[in-house]
Amino acid sequence: MIVAITSSGKTPESSVDPRFGRCPYYLLYDTDKDTFEAINNSGQSAYGGAGVQAAQAVSDMNADVLITTNIGPNAFRVLDSAGIKVYSGVSGTVKEAIDNFKKGTLGLISSPNVGHKYGAGPGHGKRGRR
């Protein structure tokens, strides 16, 4: 199984990055081989659609699972359509996230946990806006 984790760096000791579409890296963890591979997020600085681009990239990486902190509606829709399970609300290091995944203590989600354009900067995607 391939697990993709949003990461601030290239190693398992890096922090889980809270932004799915705009994280600097995805660390791919192969559960069968117990190995990690760092992948640059080429859509990190996209003007728009970073979440959808990231979701397609994770799908193209043949990931079965995504571990992140926040996931918006458009990205979630793409991941869900690809059959990729999403665990969110995660913090700490990538290694800690994987350990918690193996223990079964992460929360599998069935819908996005932030609004549209959440990671785009100030004033975008805030919850509870009226």
Q: Computed over its alpha carbons, how large is the radius of gyration of the chain?
A: 13
Whole-number pLDDT of residue 116: 55
- Cβ–Cβ under 8 Å, residues 24 and 42: no
Query: What tens digit of pLDDT does each residue of 28-41 get?
Result: 999 999 999 999 99
Question: Is the predicted pLDDT of residue 128 greater than 50, yes or no?
Answer: no
CA atoms within 13 A on the CB side of 65: 20
Tokens 């203590």 -> residue: 105
Structure confidence by residue, pLDDT tens digits, 39-96:
999 877 666 778 899 999 999 999 999 999 999 999 999 999 999 999 988 999 999 9
Fold assignment, 2-120 = Nucleotidyltransferase; domain 5 (3.30.420)
Q: What is the pTM of this model?
A: 0.85
Q: How confident is the model at residue 129 (pLDDT cuts 50, 70, 90)?
A: very low
Name the nearest CA neighbour of 106 among 125, 86, 76.
Answer: 86
pLDDT at 40: 94
The residues spanned by each domain of the chain are 2-120
